[in-house]
Amino acid sequence: MENESNLSITMITMDRATSCIVFTRSDGKEARFPLDPSPFEQTSVVARLDFTPAFSTLLATTLSGDQVLFELPLEGVADQLAGRLVMYLDQNQWSLLSNADHGAPKSGKANQAAARRLREWVDQHRIVLPASAGHYYETGKRFSTDKRYDLGLTILQYSRGWQMRDPLQVRRNELHDTFCYQLDRPDRVRSAPVFTLTPDALYSPTRSTATEIRFATQNHLDFQTKALLTASVSIDIMLDTQRIEEGLDTGWTAASQHFSDWLDGLDQDSQQKRRAIDIHLVKDLQRELAEEAAAADVSKELFQQWGFKGWVRAIGGSPTLGLFREMLHSRHLNRGTTWRPNDLTDMMYLSCAAGYANFVVCEKHMRDPLQHGLKRMGSSTQVYRRLTDAVSAIEELLETPCAPASPAQ
């Protein structure tokens, strides 16, 4: 008989049907407690949550019987990629993958085979397909409840809890760390991995106007509680039956179009126009530049001494911000460019992904400026327009003796 002192909790289950939370011990005995009030909202499709502390995984089962397995972060381990390749999919590619994964007739056999291959590599822990806040937003605003569920399910099942840190936070981290290196203070850098299982990495605190809620992580239980809560919420939000509304028009599209049209009318060479674009970008980033310089303990005098050229060097030398800058140059310098409402979102997330991932798959109108920017910055990230082409490239790379880790992780 197992000693009482050696017993441990092997499974924690939250069951919607019985309104109970069940703790299962290593000797097979159970303790049941009522879920009152129930954490399952009326619009939620989650029927059951199973958490295994020993294996650091969360299994969610929906009312339809579909299952989502999430990896959870390990305490004290900053980077759990362990050499896995990272492929970031633009939203349109997730839709294609979802159609292929669910056997939609229009998906085609080649895409269905690619989907099976990706699932196999994900299950084997050979690749990671991270989700981003952009994916959650784009999925949540779809009108069809059924299609929204299928797409959300695909993103959750293939990402397995892996997420890309909010580009707004990545950009700030890059500026902060650049300033630290310039001050010869490498011990002060944040070095936060971009592709991570870290709770709350999807959204930067700068997005919230409310006071940030911080967990006091004092012990292992606190750490697991936060990890479990944020993973459960992520799954629940993605699959919720209530559609989210479109965001407000910030005016960015109109301002970008006006600026491009103004550049088209200038009698200047490309270098002069590039400087104008840099001025436009620095003005847009002035708050981030100032705040992150202060966070890195850059004196006001030194910050002013660096001036415009120093600020542009800090931007251009950063993987995410540098690519964003290159994409702005490419698009603004292309005469007759038409800006669309979703362009800012695409550029923000794709520049962040391409700065750190091995592979990115996106639409042609974003692939071309992204590819051009990567070339100018000397990055090894591969960008594709077709999912099948990317899968072929991944297969070739996985067959090499030593597949490389993500470029800038």
Residue 203 lies in a domain: yes
Residue 185 lies in a domain: yes
Contacts of 392 (CB under 8 A, 6+ apart): none
Residue 303 lies in a domain: yes
Q: How confident is the model at residue 213 (pLDDT cuts 50, 70, 90)?
A: very low
Q: What is the pLDDT of residue 322?
A: 97
Residue 134 lies in a domain: yes
- d(CA 332, CA 261) in angstroms, rounded, equals 9
pLDDT at 29 over 60: yes
As beta bridge partners, residue 39 has none
Residue 116 lies in a domain: yes
Report pLDDT digits (tens) over 215-241.
Answer: 444 577 788 888 999 999 999 999 999
| Residue % of the chain over a pLDDT of 70 | 94
Residue 123 lies in a domain: yes
Residue with tokens 């007759």: 336
Print the domain residue range for 314: 84-220+252-409
Q: What pTM value is reported for the model?
A: 0.92
Q: Are 233 and 156 in contact (CB under 8 A)?
A: no
Q: Give buried/exposed letters for 246-280 (b at 16+ CB in 10 A, else e).
A: eeeeeeebeebeebbeebeeeeeeeeebbeebbeb
Closest CA to 91 of 320, 328, 353, 323: 353
State the pairing for strand pair 30-34/9-15.
unpaired
pLDDT at 28 over 60: yes
Residue 3 lies in a domain: no
What number is the average pLDDT over the span 323-327?
Answer: 97
- CA 137, 115, 96, 382 dihedral sign is positive
pLDDT, the chain, mean: 91
Indicate the number of domains in the chain. Answer: 1
The CA–CA distances, whole Å, from 92 to 128, 137, 151, 345, 363 equal: 18, 13, 11, 13, 8
Q: How confident is the model at residue 210 (pLDDT cuts 50, 70, 90)?
A: very low
